[in-house]
Each structure stands twice: as structure tokens, then as C-alpha cells.
Structure 1
Amino acid sequence: MNSVVEGERKIIIEFCHLLEKSKVLFNGLRELPQYGHKQWQSYFGRTFDVYTKLWKFQQQHRDILDSKYGLKRWQIGEIASKIGQLYYHFYLRTSETAYLREAFSFYQAIRARRYYTHAVKEDKCELMVKKLRYYARFIVVSLLLNRLKLVDDLIRELDNQIIEYGTTYNAEDQMEWTVVVDEVKAFLDAEPAVQVMSNDVPAPDLSNRIHPDHIPYIERGPHMHLSLQDVIIIGSSTQQAKFSELTIDMYRILQILEKEPIGPAPQALTEDMQPHGPPPAPHSTSRGYVVGDSFRRDNPHKYLLFKPTALQCMVYLASSCNDLSVNGAILLYISADGYIPSHARNNENITGYDGGGFITSGKLESSRESREARSGQTQERSRGKDHYLLYPGDIYPFTRRPLFIVVESNCSDLMQTMPRHFNQPLVMLMSAQELPAGLAERSHQGNLLTLFLNNPLMGFCMSCEVYTIEEGLLDICESLVLDFMFQCVQLILRIRIDMNFFAFMGDEFLRTIILRYLFCECSLRMNRNFRSQSQIVHSIPPMPEELLAHSSLVSIVLKIADQLGVRNHFSDISGPGPGTREQT
């Protein structure tokens, strides 16, 4: 430092100041509550401002920082990685895919510029761990953007980095990183549920985000006044493939609650790349698209809760209800195994807290039943309720606000007696409680109702045990699915469905979910492999038989079955009734 002149010294001091301040602010983001809309925004803005200044400062004074301070390329990569994380977390907070794509651009630039190439030569174990974490985050962002071919490349690179990490440092946590790689491989094996075969190798990455052209229009009447504002996604299935606190079901439901961004994808960033700040004043970027204009900023705000406690679920619900606007609605999505105590299993009239609940945190006392059996007791009423379960009664207070619920569980029927104490719109879509044996064996690939909601054709294929489809046939069948949905909208205007559904139909996301659900219920009722009512999805309020068995909808389902060569799986239920079903 003796050879550093005064001007250079000031530059180094300012850089160190910005670097330290950025770290303090970034760490402080972890302390902010994940729920609520307002608490985090100003803090996030300050953090982003500092990182923007830091990034521009190191660009402007790179020569001095390189020669006098000894700035390493991995340090530049670490700053870029933090900016990518900020964009990613801003995406999680706002659901704006523009920021997910910005995060991708920074992560992609780190790889292209090889910022971490010499990390292993620095003889710092913690630096190599940062590199591995960068790869894990890049994989998550790429998955959310459906860049599956890139994910394959990143997995191979991460695999090699883990081996080098273990060899160089004899690291005790090498096995933990190997588990991370195994998880993402299992995730990719499970998704997509149906493989698209293409003459082009490799096959194209297909996005399941909602495209504006695929949303049937409906004129909003006086009763269609609600807009989806908050989504609470609860995922706790122990059997599904998962990666980075994201199960297959969570991943699929997350996608359909975002619109496909308009405009060109961001290009790989160059050495002079610049971050661009968050709303309320989005900036034009130097990469050919405008964050504020090219993306419609109307995605609902989503909370991703991986194995939350019941109390955490209620805190998020309460926060959403408190922040909800006058015409806002909440979507609660639950993907969890259910638990019903022995004394309630044959009692159809038990509600609230008596009939069992959903294992959201995975901490249910699994030995409870065995202890009861050993003690000769059939029930332990004196012990009270299991506080790890999320009970239907826990949700009753939140029906004060418009609530749209999707339940994916073997005990989905626990929700069907939900009362309407507050005269607010309430709709529930409930999965089947069991599946035919062939499908039950593929539980790691996610649940069937969620797959139908994510991609109706893929759900249809899986329900027929069709696991590959040619790309050309895919296009034909997807066109038929769209015909079904557009036909549904016309029929709904003539066949009066329950007004609770109408209240949500004005919102494009909820309208799409309702129409895809109708496709699911209609096709499963026609499918001979689904023999009992417990294997069929159902809704509260129920959809009218006249709609589900309408000849125009039935004919479209049969056309899809013909195209896929599975017509023998289906019966024609058009007419006055849905056909005979074995009752359970």
C-alpha cells in the first residue's frame, strides 16, 4: 500500500466501504419476514442500490483495483452472484418473470466469463463452497425458466466440481453435495411426466406458463369482480421428487400462476453488464428489452412454503387476508399427505378438528397409532389434537375473504364440509383420494390433478399411462384441449354454474385453473381405468352434470383419445348422466 498514491487510496477505501456495506445489507435481508407486501420493499431497494454502485464502481476503477488492491476474478463473480440472488428473491416476492430472467442473465454471465474458474487454486475451501452454491442457484433459476438442456450441462459441471472439491480439500460435506446432485437428477427424471419425442435433437424445452392467446376471453359481468392477488403454495409430500425446497407439485403450480413474458429473452451479458433496479420505476436495459413495458406486471404474489408448520401456514394466510385489496382473492394450494385418526375413519360427519388433517411439516408422530394399539386404546382424546397437523378448522377464520382452495391429498375430502360462515366466495378443487395401481406407483412424478392444472394434455396422457408423445401429435392434441376450454366458456354462459365460481371467473389465472379442472374431471369420469368415485376429482360447489356430460365436451375428449390411440379406455357419457360408477 506504500506505493499507492492518495487518489488510488481513496478508490480502494471507497470500494472496501461499498463491499462491506453491501454484505451487511444482503445479510439483513434474511432477517426480514417472508410474508407481507410492504416490510421488505424499501430495504430491498437500499440493498440493490448499494450493489449497483459497487458493481459500477469496480467497472470504472478495474485497473487500479486489479493492480493496487489485488481484485480477483472470483470476487467479481461473487458480486455478480449476489446481484443474481437479489433478482431471484425479488422474483419470488413479486412473481415478475422479468426479474427471474435478469437473475438468469447474471448467472449465465458468471459462467460465460469464467469468474470462478480458478476458485480451487485459491486454497480456500469456503470459496469453493461459494462456487458450488452458485451452481445450485443457477440450476434452480434455469429449471424455473425451463432451460432443461442447460440444466443437464450444469449438473455435469457441478458433478465434476464436487469431485474436485472433495479431492482437493478432503471435504466432509462432499456427500451432502452429492445428494444435491442426486436430487436434481431425480427431479429431471420426474419432469416432464410425459416425454416429447422430436425429430430435432434435442427436443425443445416447453414452457407451461400461461400464454395470453390461450386464455379464453369472458366479458366480466357484475359478479366477476375478483382478481387473484396472493397465492400460498404449501408442499410437503415425502414421496415426490424435490430440489432446493421445491417439490414437483410446487414447481408445476408455480408455473401456471405466471404469464409467459413478452419480448425477446435476455442475451448473455458482457463484461460491461449493468444491473437494473426494481420497481416502482423499472428501467430500460441495454440488452434490447424493457423490463417495465415488455412484461405485463399482473402476476399474483406467491409464497412458497416447503414443509411449513401449521402455525406458519396460518401466519401467511393471516398476512394475506390482512393485505388483501377490496376485490382481491387468495389461492391456497395444499399438496400434502393426510392423516385421519382411527376413530374418525368411518365417520363422514366429523368436521373442523375431529376428522384429521394434513401433514404439512412432516413432523406428525408416526408412532401414535402403534402406541394406541399397544395400550389397547382406540383413541386418545385426552391428549388433544396433534399440533403439527393443518386442520380444516384452521382455515375457517380465513374464509372471511374470497378464497380459492386446491387440495392435492389422499385425504382431500376432509375439506368438503368447509362452512361458509362469512358469505364470501369460496371454491375448492379436490384431488382423488386414490389412483389406479399403475399411476400410484409413479407418485414421485407428482400428483395427477396438479399435472392436469399445469398441462392438461400431459395429465390426460398420464391418466391413460401414455408416457411419450410425438411433437407433431402434441400440437394437434393441445389444439383440441384449447377447443375444449373455449367451448367450456361458451357453455358456462348458458349452463348456470354456482355463483361462487362466477366470482373467480373474471381473473385470467383462476379462469384457466377452473377450465383445466373441468377438462380433468370430464376426462377422468369417462376413463374406464378410474372405476370408483374415490378415484375422481371433485369440486365444492360441484359442477353441474349438464356441463360435465355435454356432448360437445365429450366429443372433444374422445377425439383426443383417438389421436393418442387410447379410445378403448373411454366411454361416451354424453347425455343426461355421467354413466354408471362403482360407489365407495
Structure 2
Amino acid sequence: MIAVMTGTETEDDIPFGERKTVTDFCYLLDKSKQLFNGLRDLPQYGHKQWQSYFGRTFDVYTKLWKFQQQHRQVLDSRYGLKRWQIGEVASKIGQLYYHYYLRTSETSYLNEAFSFYSAIRQRSYYYQVNREDRPELVVKKLRYYARYLVVCLLLNKMDLVKILVKELSEEIKDYTQQFNTEDQLEWNLVLQEVASFVEADPVVLLDDNSSVTAISCRLQDGCVPPLEQGMVVGQLVLTDALIIGNSNSQVKFSELTIDMFRMLQALEREPANLATQTSKPGILEPTEKPAKRENPHKYLLYKPTFSQLFTFLSASFKELPANSVLLVYLSATGIFPSVNSESEGPFDFGGVLTNSNRDVNGEVIQKRSQSHKEMHCLHPGDLLPFTRKPLFIIVDSTNSIAYKNFTNMFGQPLVCLLSPKVYPKCVQDQSQRGSLFTLFLYSPLLAFFSVCGLNSVRQELWKSAQEFLHKVDHDIGQMIARSQAIDQAFLQFFGDEFLRLLLIRFVFCSATLRLHKVFRDAQSFPESYPELPKQDMVENSILQKRILKMATLLDVQNMFWDDRVEPY
């Protein structure tokens, strides 16, 4: 216990009630640190093991936060409580909410993290840490900024992101000048990564005042075409999603590539209270259930080793409830077979590289002979054990085609959506800002603008194009529902809103690229397992007319073939 005393005052001279206040505060502070540090030891996979531990941690931090509010005067005078210490508690509560959001996919907790981070800045809790002459305290401040930026990016608060980047830049400059540290390059890299993330969207949306407006691509009410009356679909629900990324060429921030970031948002609903979010921090009980149906639970795995990936897959598979779907999204470099194999099994066509060829200790593994396969390559055969339950796979890779050689051994619903193997050069040049294929699944309108070379658009035109796209989505939904040739696996997934929208966007992407004049090579078109019927879907004449009408609306009809489309 630390007490601040002046003159001849001794600890015995301090009233018992005030001494008890300081003692209770110290207990809560120590307990909160123990529990917070213990979170690092919890397994990141699985649903059940961490729930009770998070609950206890939230409970202690709730008491600590309210205690320091109720007894601030005593803690200031008797404990010497400083504002940066209050900021540290608030920052850890923000981290708790952020990690709870990652484990539950409920954006209400992301809003709560924003609320605490926002209060730290508005109340200047870290304002005077530079005067303490302790570099470790300034690092706490810089890390707070980095975490705040991640939350703002996830909430599409781009105006605030730009302000925070400027403030962080000034803080890093002051930090390196004052302490002459060796980590300046690391912090400058953080700035570069955030700036690249902000600039990653290929299209800028301008309002009436020519100011840039943020675009939210989370699922919103009314944006998913409803099922046709009487349509028989499966009752499957997307419950778990593994979002896996390994791309050194892509923009990334905080172990999150731009493609992972986009897929994360594509599998979430828009927070109901985002527009009215206040900056007043409060404690939201982590056991509270949102009013709407929950988002699928997501694991974010950046450059996982095979053993790590297999562990997460196994844990998710084990806990998958009945009538539930596991989605696996792979955004990674393609690995091709080094020698021709006499067999054509699920391990003979290569796969995707989830991690570089380094072991867990960072030592370079000796180059294997050509007869051996890459250790961290995920082959289609590696996923076969998990096809015992409904499995939805998205592969964005130069060797996505390897997953077309799949086998549905157990008769459960199984679909693979596969990116093009190659892109035209003009599209390859933009690959650092994310894959065009994932962009179509995330925001088909952004992707359509991008593939047409439109870098900026007025808000009024965007709204008109969005309304037209909703009609196109409805048409595609009807095509899927009424097709006599479509594989039943697609219909079994069609009952879930997230999967329905992904399937519709996949068809729109395939049809658009087939009509676009730049995409001439068949390898530049997406594929799927099982195959979609071309005449009913991706080469459907009605859909092609809709795409040409969209192009006319945007005045880019010269970029599409119209002689392939039957006249009205």
C-alpha cells in the first residue's frame, strides 16, 4: 500500500476509512492485473474455456473502475493516483472489450472498446506521461493509440483515424527525440501500415461538399434478398468462421491483412447503435445477449503454422452445434506441385501456403527434396476430415484451383468458392490494396467501380448504383432458387443470410468478369466446387443485361462486351 503523507503526518494519523479505501483500491488493482495477465495463457480457440475467466476479469475491472470514480479525492490525496494510471485502467478495459468482441463477433463490445478509448483521449489521461521521464509510460501511450486505431478502422471511423494518425505521428516524434530510443523504425512502420489501410479502398466516395465519406460494408437490414415464398432450403446457420491470411505483398496492420479485414466485416451485421455511439464509458455486462441473431464466431489467423491451423480447425469442428456451418476463408500464396504425380488425389495438386518455411523458432528449415511437400501448405486433403459436417470454403490464391479437386466423401453440404488464378496486368498492379475477388465478396459495388477504373464517385451516383445492385442481387437470388441444374449443396447453404449473400456476390463477380473486355483468359474467372451451371448463372443473359445496364448507369459501357448478350 502506498500512502502520500506530508510534514509530520504518519500512517496512523490517516483516518481508518481512508486507509481502508487505499487498501481496497490496491487489492482491486493487483487482482485486475493478475487476471488481465492470465488472459494471455488462455487458449485462443474454443468457446467454453475462456467464458468464465473473462467474466471474472470483467467483474474485477467493473469494481475497480467504479471504485476509483467514487473515491477519487481520497485516492488522489492518500494514494497519489495519477491520471495516466486511470488511463491505464481504462485502456485495459478497452482491450478487454476488444478481445471479447474478437471471441464473440458482437460489435456492441467493439463499441464499448471505442467508448473507453475515446474517453482516454478526451479526458487527456495520458497527457502528462512525457514529463515522467519514463519511456515505458510513453510506450503505453503509443500502444493505446495503436489499439484505438484498430478499433476505429473496424468501426469505419475514417475521419477520426486520420486525426489519430496525425497525433500518433507527433507523439512518436516527441518520444524518439526525448529518449533517443531504438524502436523508432517500428513505430514509423505502424504509421505507414495505418496510412496504407486508410488508402486501401480503391474508390473514394464524395459527399455534396466533395468531402470523403466512409463506406460501411457490413450486412445491413434489408440488403439481403429474401427467400422466395415456398422455397425449400436447408436450415443451416453459419456459426464459425476461420479467416486465414498469409500475404507479404498486401497492406496489413496489427496482424490483419486487408483481405482478412474485409472478410471479417463481410461476416458481421452493422451495429445497431453505431450512429448514436457516445463517448461516455460504461460497463456492459459481457453476458448480455444482443437483440438480433448473433454474428458467426470468427478466428483471425495471420500466418498460422499447420499445427496451429489444425488445432483451431479441430476445436471449431468439435464444438460446432447441430445444423451449423463452418466457413474457412484462405487468403494465401499458392503452392504448386513440384513434380508430376501419377495419382490425382487431394494432396497432388498443391494448395496454399499458410506460413513461411520457417519453424517455430525462426530457424530456416532445410530445403526439402522435390519429392517432399511443403510443411505449411494446406492441401484440399487436409480439410477432408472436416467435411463430416457442413463446410463452406473460400480460397483466394494463385492456386485456388487445387480446391476444385475436392471429394465430398461424407455427403454433407460442401461448397468451395475459388478466386481466379491470374488477373490482367492492370488488376495485378493493385494487388497490394487487396484481392479483387475478396473485394467482390466484401463490396461488389466497390469492386465494380474498381474494375472499371473509377477512382471516385459522388454520393448520389453511389446510392443509385447501390439501389440498382440490390435489384440485381434479387434477380441472382431468384436464378439460384429456380435453377433446375444447380447442385443441392448451394441450396442447403442458401437459408443463412451471410452465405446467401456470399453466393449471390460470387455469381455477380463471375458474370461481371466474363463480360469485361480486359478479362480474356479463362484462368481469370472464378470457379467453384461443385460447378455452377453456366447458362443458368454466370452466363445468364438476363444477368448480363443487368450488368450492361449498370455499366451504362456509370458511363463505362465501352469496357464490356455487348455482342455476347442477346438483344431485348
- TM-score category of the 2 structures, normalised to the smaller one: over 0.9
Pairing 1:77–2:77 present: no
Residue of structure 1 aligned with 2:558, choices 550, 556, 568: 568
* Residues 115-130 of structure 1 mapped to structure 2, 5 A cutoff: 115-130=125-140
Separation (CA, whole Å) in 2 of partners of 1:269 and 1:423: 51
1:368-404 Cα deviation digits (max 9, x unpaired)? 9x979xxxxxx632xx322122222111111111000
Q: Secondary structure at the match of 2:212?
A: coil
Counterpart check, 1:310 vs 2:303: no
Take 2:527 and 2:296, find their aligned partners in 1: how far apart are those partners?
25
1:353 aligns with 2:343: no
> Would the alpha carbon gap of residues 47 and 430 (structure 1) be closer, same or farther in structure 2, given more than 3 Å must change?
same
**Residue number in structure 2 paired with 1:88:** 98
Contact 1:211–1:259 (8 Å) recurs in 2:
yes
Q: 1:80–1:332: structure 2 CA closer, same or farther, 3 Å change rule?
A: same
1:323 partnered with 2:319? yes
Runs of 5+ consecutive residues of structure 1 not aligned to the other structure:
283-291, 373-378, 577-584
Letter in 2 for 1:207: S
Which residue of 376, 386, 411 maps to 1:388? 376
Q: CA RMSD in A?
A: 2.1
Are residue 554 (structure 1) and residue 544 (structure 2) matched?
yes
- Secondary structure of the residue aligned to 1:358 is strand
Deviations 1:388-438 (A, max 9, x none): 222221111111110000000001001101111111100010000000001
1:278 aligned partner: 286
- Which residue is equivalent to 2:172? 162
Q: 1:185 aligns with which of 195, 199, 211?
A: 195
Distance change in 2, residues 1:425/1:267 (3 Å) = closer
Q: CA deviation at 1:96?
A: 0.4
Kindly provide the amino acid, as one letter, of the partner of residue 34 in structure 1: Q
Residues in 2 aligned to 1:141 and 1:263: alpha-carbon distance in whole angstroms: 15
**Are 1:364 and 1:389, in contact at CA under 8 Å, matched by a contact in 2?**
no
In the alignment, does 2:480 pair up with 1:480? no
Structure 2 counterpart of 1:4, which letter?
A: I
The letter of the residue matching 2:480 is: I
Contact 1:132 1:158 in 2 (8 A): yes
Pairwise CA distance, 1:349: 6.4
Provide the residue aligned with 1:8 in structure 2: 18
Change (3 A) 1:389 1:233: same
Identity of matched residues, %: 47
Please state how far the C-alpha of 1:222 moved relative to its aligned partner: 4.9
Q: Counterparts of 1:541 and 1:297 in 2: how far apart (Å)?
A: 29
CA distance in 1, matches of 2:375, 2:161: 39
1:542 equivalenced with 2:531 (yes/no) = yes
Give per-residue Cα distances to partners, 1:455-480, cap 9 Å, x unaligned: 10111122223222222211111112
Among candidates 500, 505, 510, match of residue 511 of structure 1:
500
Residue 251 (structure 2) pairs with residue 214 (structure 1): no
Distance 1:90 1:64, change over 3 A: same
Q: How many correspondences in the alignment?
A: 550
Cα distance in structure 2, aligned partners of 1:260 and 1:71: 39
Q: Please state how far the C-alpha of 1:168 moved relative to its aligned partner.
A: 1.2
Corresponding residue for residue 440 of structure 1: 428
> How far off is 1:91 after superposition?
0.5
Is the 8 Å Cα contact of residues 549 and 574 (structure 1) preserved in structure 2?
Answer: no
Aligned to 2:394, what secondary structure does the other structure show?
Answer: strand
Matched, 1:132 2:131: no
SS in 2 for 1:277: coil
Spell out the pairing of 1:24-173 with structure 2 (5 A cutoff): 24-173=34-183
Q: CA deviation at 1:252?
A: 0.5
Q: Within 2, Cα distance between the matches of 1:100 and 1:266?
A: 14
Report the more deviating stretch, 454-463 or 499-508: 454-463
Q: 2:328, 2:394 within 8 Å by CA — same for their partners in 1?
A: yes
Task: Confirm whether residue 521 of structure 1 aligns to residue 529 of structure 2.
Answer: no
Give the structure-2-normalised TM-score: 0.93
Amino acid at match of 1:570: F
* Conserved? CA contact 2:98–2:109, under 8 Å: yes
In structure 2, what is the Cα distance between the partners aligned to 1:6 and 1:269?
36
TM-score where L is the length of structure 1: 0.91
Counterparts of 1:447-466 in structure 2 under 5 Å? 447-466=435-454
List alignment gaps of at least 5 residues for structure 2. 4-9
Q: Which of 225, 244, 255 is equivalent to 1:234? A: 244
Shift of 1:147: 0.4
SS of corresponding position for 1:420: coil
Task: Name the aligned partner's letter for residue 397 of structure 2.
Answer: S
Q: Residue 20 of structure 1 aligns with which residue?
A: 30
1:267 CA displacement: 4.1
3-state DSSP of counterpart to 1:330: strand
